[in-house]
Amino acid sequence: MLDLTLLDLPWATLVTLTSGYISYFIANVGLKEHNKPIDIVFSTLIFSLLPTAIYHLTLWCGFNKRVA
């Protein structure tokens, strides 16, 4: 069952977790090897480094500012 309290996390955390897990899933699709949960967690965090850096770079450049 999906824990809906995860949706209350900050955007930076959601971007990190979702992009990392999607990257992990794409990298391991078709492999018959079963990974332990700890392997999945750390692989997700490693795969999320680049998308998280891009997300923070866009915030730093001011793409999140509203135009009046």
Q: What is the pLDDT of residues 12-31, one digit of tens each?
A: 888 888 888 888 888 888 77
Specify whether the CB–CB gap between 12 and 56 falls below 8 A. yes
- Residue 20 burial by Cβ neighbours in a 10 Å radius (0-12, 13-18, 19+): buried
Q: Residue 5: which pLDDT band, with cuts at 50, 70 and 90? A: confident
Model pTM score = 0.67
Estimate to the nearest angstrom the gap between the alpha carbon of 63 and the chain centroid. Answer: 20
Q: Which helix (H) or strand (E) holds 67?
A: none
Specify whether the CB–CB gap between 31 and 59 falls below 8 A. no
Q: What is the structure's pLDDT at 68?
A: 59
- What integer is the mean pLDDT of 38-57? 86
Specify whether the CB–CB gap between 61 and 67 falls below 8 A. no
Q: Which amino acid is at 63?
A: F
